[in-house]
Amino acid sequence: MSTIWHEKIYSAGFVTGGGGTRTVEAPATGEIIATIGQADTHDLEKAVASARAAQPGWAALPYTERAAVMSEAAALLARDPARLSGWLVPESGSGQGKAAFETGLVISELTEAAALASQPYGQLLRSYKPRLSLGRHVPVGIVGVISPFNFPAILAMRSVAPALALGNAVILKPDPRTAISGGLVFAELFAEAGLPEGLLHVLPAGAEVGAALVEHPGVPCISFTGSTLAGRRIGAATGPLLKKVHLELGGNNALLVLPDADIDAAVSSGAWGSFLHQGQICMTTGRHLVAKNKVGEYAAKLADKANALAVGDPVDPANVLGPLIDANQCARVHEIVRETVAAGATLLAGGTHDGLFYRPTVLTDVPLDAPAFSQEIFGPVAPVVGYESVEEAIDIINSSEYGLSVSILTADPFHALQLADRITSGAVHINDQTVDDEAVAPFGGAKASGAGGHFGSSVNLETFCNVQWVTVQADIAQYPF
């Protein structure tokens, strides 16, 4: 795999950052796998100046030229997916299947961004005057992207690709723990695809540079994916600045197993939803709601599924689950499990860890106010609760402060479609689990799960553009004075 970015950041080429260097450790082994550059606030200033100079020319190009860069980047990655997946496995602790899946999602984002460049970008409006009146989407200019560690590649690319395709420049600050698979790999990919210099800047850095990016007066748009706590801080900081801000935040997502659902099929969906990538996904199934006459069977079979999963270094393809991202996250997950058991829950599987390798965990008889049920865990933990009536289950689902993704499993999908009308959530998946995202679909949360826009397809026009009203008349208008 290329290491052209060794000890570098990317800003008008691969250059030495002002923040020194940082070693990257594989969470599975503790091995140092790379050394990358670190940006400081002076690098940010240079990046903003460079982006400001490059962006107008990029926006003025025919859309075909922007689309061609996106298509070429997609083709390059499709020909050599290991240039990304080969870093996702060691750097983020991704299982090989998850890494391949995530790489495919990135290719889809690039392909969809190429199509986005040719989408209609406005509409003709009616006017009482004899004139042409239209509303059109114009690029905001510079988009600041702050992305997380869990799905570092796709959660960066779903902002970077559409923002570039629509004529913006991008300054990307990836999570420090996944700066290669969440940023530097893309810098190399886009450079190879022909993206002109100055349009993409990748600045691996800590919180100081992130805060400076959020507050920089030259960056009119911020696209943040991360925790609700951090999102609230960004919202508070950007409110007085009147920026365009897109916050994609946390979730505590419910999987509702209706009384008529096939239990074996439901367990398969529930296990995938809770344990994929060690539960480190905003869409992870964090609450399993099962009819009381089926809850015992469901929980027992889910525990059997959890006990059968191989956990270990994801370099070995036999290990479907890898490590949690770091010791702090592992300690938090374990404390939530311990507190929930102390509150009265029954531990059916897991609840132990070897280093950062946390066993898939199933809890039943979980009190609704216990931390494993009421909080976003970001670990491989499946709390199971029984309900008496569907009305009670809907109330439990809506009681959460979050509203990102909900699953309903049933033999009567049209009944579930009616129930979806009563659920406050950015997504409702009928007869599928909660973890799902497609480049062509509008993705975003409600309540504490997000604000300010959605990702996906033509919805990106609203997120990464401003709307401009334009009128045209044949003659200069005359007025009484």
Q: Determine the pLDDT at residue 4.
A: 87
The C-alpha angle 22, 26, 32, rounded to 5 degrees, equals 50
Report the alpha-carbon distance of residue 210 to residue 228 in Å, rounded: 16
Q: Could you tell me the two tokens for 418?
A: 């009616």
- Alpha helix (H) residue ranges in 219-344: 228-238, 263-275, 295-308, 327-342
Type of residue found at 367: P
Question: Residue 373's closest CA among 405, 354, 401?
Answer: 401
Report the alpha-carbon distance of residue 123 to residue 323 in Å, rounded: 49
Catalytic (active-site) positions: 248, 282
Cα dihedral sign, 453-220-144-80: positive
Report the alpha-carbon distance of residue 212 to residue 195 in Å, rounded: 26
Q: Determine the pLDDT at residue 56.
A: 98
Q: Determine the pLDDT at residue 453.
A: 81
402 close to 376: Cβ distance less than 8 angstroms: yes
In the numeric block, the tokens 């406050």 are attached to 424
Q: Could you tell me the two tokens for 243?
A: 């920026």
Domains of the chain plus CATH, in order, are 9-249+449-470 (3.40.605.10), 253-430 (3.40.309.10)
The model's pTM: 0.96
64-80: pLDDT as tens digits: 999 999 999 999 999 99
Q: Is 377 exposed, middle or buried (0-12, 13-18, 19+ CB in 10 A)?
A: buried
Report the alpha-carbon distance of residue 177 to residue 22 in Å, rounded: 10
Which regions of the chain are under pLDDT 70?
A: 1
Q: Determine the pLDDT at residue 2.
A: 73
- Alpha helix (H) residue ranges in 343-437: 371-374, 390-398, 413-420
